Amino acid sequence: MDDMRFFEEIDGFTQLLKDVWLMLENIDDLDTPELACINERLYKQISRTDYLTSYVNPRVAVTSFGTETGRLLSAIAAELRAAIPALYERDEEGYEMRLKLIKDLHASYDEHGAFDAGDIRRIFYAYYCDNRLSQNRSKLRAQLKPECACIRLDLASESLNRRADDIIRMMYSCGEYVTDAEITMVRKLCAMEDERLMALAETFTTGFIKGFEISGRDLSIKDTVELRFNIGFIPMMIIAARIFEKNNLKCSMMRGGSSIFTGRSVDKNGFFGANPNPQFDLDHKNDLSLIIDEKLNELRLDTLRQAFEELKSEAGALAGPACVDMFGEPDFEPETKPEAADYDDEGRKLVTAYTSRAGSMVNDYIPGEERSFTIIAYPMPSIGPDFEEIFDATVRINTLDYVLYRDIQQRIIDVLDTAEYVQVKGSGDNRTDLKVHLVDLTDPAGQTKFENCVADVNIPVGEVFTSPVLKGTDGVLHVTHVFLEGIEYHDLEIQVKDGMIAGFSCREGDKLIRDNILYHHETLPMGECAIGTNTTAYVLARKYDIESKLPILIAEKTGPHFAFGDTCYSHAEDLAVHNPDGKEIIARDNECSLLRKTEPEKAYFNCHTDITLPYDELGELSAVHPNGSVTPIICRGRFVLNGCEDLNLPFNE
């Protein structure tokens, strides 16, 4: 009987949680192989093989119990897995609340003698309502309070970062999934010469501090920086934490989302380990749709506000996130399953309304004009046999000549500042034909349209970008193949009318775009138009055939790119920003963000997805001037603007 098999599986995992809870009471008595065995057992259920037959897979549950009941049971099975972090953090509340969820499910079954979808939904709804405030508190404490971090880098001994075996044990002791890739990365970093490992950490921390200096923000009023990284980079993060400490910043850490409260995503954001199965995250990304209604939406906002009020001073002291992105994970071809939970039209309206209001609330407590960030990326060993060469090449990319790129990019900006719009056309199979309208300058001597982005908050160097004028921005953006936040798209096409998405398609189906580019909005504005200039990164990707592996941080520098959602200046539009030449970048707003002054609920979308048009698919990128004259910047994938010749040198190599 399916009912009994479901309970056998879910009760078996519940018993495993109970056993591990008891074992971890004496974690110091467990050796590393024992911790590794526990780690493997906890994540086995959603491994790519076991997931195919597990009820945590909505396809299996829906096939057995029907759509409504199956989706609910699968969502509850997925939520039980969110108890794993609680085991290692000794979070009794987070642990017990999930055991109670299963206990209530048993009681409902016993009462009805069968699964009752209405009763299951009421149980899941009550579970969410009863625990939303406590989960908000837990998430914000981790993000805002260094003493609540799941690992304390500041307590690491001076020599710990050189002892790989100790750090590997630390990885297994935090509850994130560990694979050979994380272990290999730890051993690589620990084996580095002191000067080289220090240089990696200093590039990272200097970028964060420099971001405050360049933007004119006051870092002295902040005392916390949030670290976001894969656990394989712990040796580097130990040194980074010491550098930040010398600059009067303590480090906090928030786990990547793993529950219906914190959200699930293929692309992890926070402190995280390996992903045992991205399809699991994709299948359960919209589980909240099973219970959401207007009352629940208001509860979500009320509890978020209450949690922020309790941590108001800590929120104001957060300087922002410092992120180490990584690339080279195993290939993942997403499957959009009809059995997975999804929002209907009303649910989409509710979730987008919440996202907008919650984004504004976060900005109230952590003001955008006071915070900054930095992000850098490195490959993981799982990228393949060329890992060592790719890692060394990435280090070189992350430390390219700041002055060289600054001066070349300024030449591009000088031309664009005299343009009315940018014309972009694809070549070969690429169907791009796009006109991007630019803001007018009222004081050309003191103003500029594009930001000259070198290596500070956004490492590596290599782009100039602007916020387009929406009206008059029209056409088609097309890429034949692209990875966006870990998800693969073929023949991705977006139609744009007056700067807004007017249509879209891809081979994988429209739903993938709705969920992961539009984020349930009916449409989005083009928030950014940029020209990537890092041809060295482009050639690296082609040389090792890793275009599909590059994170957007690097990929966006390998050609023109266009972002849909908020501008790069979201929530900080009123803060003056200047290029190295002293000119003020005035293209910080668009017609949507300007609504913050009259209709704030319509101003922001709380998303920003970059889509890069690679050089080899680019036929033309030109500046078109008010008199109709045209200045080509890139033709047939090569920079042709005078003074940009050095950007073509990597192609010759």
Domain boundary among 130, 146, 162: 146
What pLDDT sits at residue 43?
Answer: 97
Report how many domains make up the chain: 3
Nearest CA among 384, 132, 162 for reference residue 263: 132
393 is a domain residue: no
What pLDDT sits at residue 159?
Answer: 53
- State yes or no: pLDDT of 120 exceeds 60: yes
What is residue 144's DSSP assignment? Answer: H
Q: Where are the alpha helices (DSSP H) in 145-277?
A: 164-172, 180-191, 194-215, 234-246
More confident residue, 155 or 626: 626
Tally of helices (H runs) and strands (E runs) in the chain: 21, 20
93 is a domain residue: yes
Q: Do 462 and 490 lie in a common domain?
A: yes
Q: Do 449 and 597 lie in a common domain?
A: yes
Q: Which helix (H) or strand (E) holds 439?
A: none
652 is a domain residue: no
- State yes or no: pLDDT of 477 exceeds 90: yes
What pLDDT sits at residue 576?
Answer: 86
Q: Do 117 and 171 lie in a common domain?
A: no
Q: Give the pair of three-digit tokens for residue 444.
A: 């050309």
Average pLDDT of the segment spanning 100-127 = 96
Average pLDDT taken over every residue of the chain: 93
> What pairs with residue 321 in β-bridges?
226
653 is a domain residue: no
What pLDDT sits at residue 158?
Answer: 54
Report the distance separating Cα 198 and Cα 100, nearest Å: 47
- Helices 67-80 and 2-23 sit at what angle, rounded to 10 degrees? 10
Q: Give the pair of three-digit tokens for residue 162.
A: 């050189």
Average pLDDT of the segment spanning 345-349 = 90
Average pLDDT of the segment spanning 394-420 = 93
Q: Do 133 and 178 lie in a common domain?
A: no
- State yes or no: pLDDT of 250 exceeds 70: yes
pLDDT band at residue 330, thresholds of 50, 70 and 90?
confident
177 is a domain residue: yes
DSSP secondary structure of 340-402: S----HHHHHHHHHHHHHHHHHHHHHS-GGG---EEEEEE-GGG-TTHHHHHHHHHHHTT--H
Nearest CA among 94, 61, 88 for reference residue 75: 61
DSSP secondary structure of 146-176: GGG-SS-GGGS-TTGGG-HHHHHHHHHTTTS
- State yes or no: pLDDT of 365 exceeds 80: yes
pLDDT band at residue 301, thresholds of 50, 70 and 90?
very high
387 is a domain residue: no
Among the ranges given (221-235, 270-284, 342-356), the one the predictor scored with the smallest mean pLDDT = 342-356
628: left (phi over 0), alpha (psi -120 to 50) or beta: left
What pLDDT sits at residue 20?
Answer: 97
Q: Do 343 and 456 lie in a common domain?
A: no
Q: Report the SS3 class of residue 649.
A: helix
- What does each C-alpha distance from 354 to 3, 195, 348, 596 come to in angstroms? 36, 47, 10, 16
What pLDDT sits at residue 455?
Answer: 65
Q: Do 255 and 362 lie in a common domain?
A: yes
Residues of the domain holding 273 = 151-375
Q: For 146-160, write each residue's pLDDT tens digit.
A: 999 888 776 665 555
Average pLDDT of the segment spanning 235-241 = 94
Amino acid letter for position 44: K
Q: Do 162 and 292 lie in a common domain?
A: yes
pLDDT band at residue 253, thresholds of 50, 70 and 90?
very high
Report the distance separating Cα 451 and Cα 580, nearest Å: 9
Q: Report the SS3 class of residue 300.
A: helix
What pLDDT sits at residue 157?
Answer: 54
Q: Do 175 and 26 lie in a common domain?
A: no
What is residue 25's DSSP assignment? Answer: G
Collect all residues with Cβ–Cβ distance below 8 Å to 525 and sequence separation of at least 6.
Answer: 470, 499, 500, 501, 564, 565, 590, 591, 592, 605
Q: For 513-569, write each residue's pLDDT tens digit.
A: 998 999 889 999 999 999 999 999 999 989 999 887 888 888 888 899 999 999 998
Q: Report the SS3 class of residue 443.
A: coil
Nearest CA among 258, 257, 253 for reference residue 151: 253
Amino acid letter for position 219: L
Q: Do 497 and 619 lie in a common domain?
A: yes
What pLDDT sits at residue 247?
Answer: 95
- What does each C-alpha distance from 19 to 23, 30, 42, 96, 279 come to in angstroms? 6, 14, 11, 14, 27
Q: What percent of the chain has pLDDT over 90?
A: 77
473 is a domain residue: yes
Q: β-strands 271-272, 224-230: how paired?
A: parallel
Report the distance separating Cα 347 and Cα 287, nearest Å: 11
Q: Do 368 and 456 lie in a common domain?
A: no
Q: For 591-623, write each residue's pLDDT tens digit.
A: 999 998 888 888 899 899 999 998 999 999 999
Q: For 28-66, write each residue's pLDDT tens digit.
A: 999 999 999 999 999 999 999 999 999 999 999 999 999
Q: Do 410 and 555 lie in a common domain?
A: yes
Domain boundary among 115, 146, 177: 146
What pLDDT sits at residue 213?
Answer: 86
What pLDDT sits at residue 28?
Answer: 92
128: left (phi over 0), alpha (psi -120 to 50) or beta: alpha
386 is a domain residue: no
- State yes or no: pLDDT of 128 exceeds 70: yes
Domain boundary among 113, 146, 179: 146
Long-range contacts of 370-373 (CB under 8 A, 24+ apart): 370/217, 370/218, 370/221, 370/222, 371/217, 371/222, 371/318, 371/319, 371/320, 372/208, 372/211, 372/212, 372/215, 372/217, 372/319, 372/320, 372/457, 373/208, 373/211, 373/320, 373/321, 373/322, 373/323, 373/457
Report the distance separating Cα 142 and Cα 144, nearest Å: 6
Q: Do 432 and 340 lie in a common domain?
A: no
Vertex 480: Cα angle to 535 and 530 (nearest 5):
45
pLDDT band at residue 211, thresholds of 50, 70 and 90?
confident
pLDDT band at residue 303, thresholds of 50, 70 and 90?
very high
Report the distance separating Cα 404 and Cα 461, nearest Å: 10
Average pLDDT of the segment spanning 229-233 = 95
